Chain A
Amino acid sequence: GQQLNQSPQSMFIQEGEDVSMNCTSSSIFNTWLWYKQDPGEGPVLLIALYKAGELTSNGRLTAQFGITRKDSFLNISASIPSDVGIYFCAGRKSGGGADGLTFGKGTHLIIQP
């Protein structure tokens, strides 16, 4: 099935650094969601975006819904060790035949001491 283009695939950063990742698609989405998944657990919702151009923050996390509705980015400021994990973007098209959530392949965030 279709997947979103999420980049980078992995990031090796130092504690305290800012992190940026993004997702792009050739299709228009009406909802963009960002999740974090720890090993052996289900994805945990971080931020939900419902409107083109919307910029939303959740603590040190900030995400934006692209104006074209074909992309979204997630920023993490001042990373800390518990930020380690895999981050997924997910998009949902409009209702009426929408195919559930479409996911990116994930960005694996590794924080070096």
Chain B
Amino acid sequence: KAGVTQTPRYLIKTRGQQVTLSCSPISGHRSVSWYQQTPGQGLQFLFEYFSETQRNKGNFPGRFSGRQFSNSRSEMNVSTLELGDSALYLCASSLRLPGQAAFFGQGTRLTVV
């Protein structure tokens, strides 16, 4: 069974640009969540989707948004990039909500210059 797939693996963007990251969950999993990982803050919850609906949202500015498609694939978008947005962005999939174990992808390493 294929794991969680995130694309691209690496990305370099300039301040002010926007970026879209993609996540394909494990087949059959309907919940997708996104996390930001930085050395200073650790792993921080961004948002969570289930059946194309955002169920929970972390404490991040509105520049961070996401969506989930009918096939459970998800995208997250960051607009007006700032240097502090440089991080490893991780997607995790779960069979369903709530309280299910989450399986992570390898992440997308975003560098903002």
Binding site for B on A (CB under 8 A): 1, 3, 30-31, 33, 35, 40-45, 48, 50, 88, 90, 92, 94-106
In the assembly, what is the distance between CA of A94 and CA of B101, in Å? Answer: 13
Residues on A with C-beta less than 8 A from B105 are 42
CA distance A94 to B56 in the complex (A): 12
Q: Are B107 and A100 in contact (CB under 8 A)?
A: no
Closest chain A CB from B103 CB (angstroms)? 6
B44 lies within 8 A of A1 (CB):
yes
B59 contacts A by Cβ under 8 Å? yes
Residue of B nearest to A96 (CB): B98
B89 to chain A, nearest CB (A): 10
> Which B residues are CB-close (under 8 A) to A48?
101
| Chain B residues at the A interface, C-beta cutoff of 8 Å | 4, 6, 33, 35, 42-48, 56, 58-59, 90, 92, 97-107, 109
Q: How far is the CB of A44 from chain B (nearest CB, A)?
A: 7
> Which residue of B4, B35, B58, B98 has the most chain A CB atoms within 10 A of its CB atom?
B98
In the complex, what residues of A have CB within 8 A of residue B48's CB?
A: 100
- A3 to chain B: which residues have CB within 8 Å? 42
A43 pairs with B90, CB closer than 8 A:
yes
Question: Complex: how many Å from CA A102 to CA B44?
Answer: 7
Whether A42 contacts B104 by the Cβ 8 Å rule is yes
Collect the chain B residues with CB atoms within 8 Å of residue A94's CB. Answer: 98-99
**Contact at A45–B56, with CB atoms within 8 Å?**
no
Please name 7 further chain A to chain B contacts, defined as beta carbons within 8 Å, in addition to the given A1-B45, A31-B100, A43-B104, sorted by A numbering. Answer: A1-B44, A40-B109, A45-B102, A98-B56, A100-B45, A101-B33, A106-B42
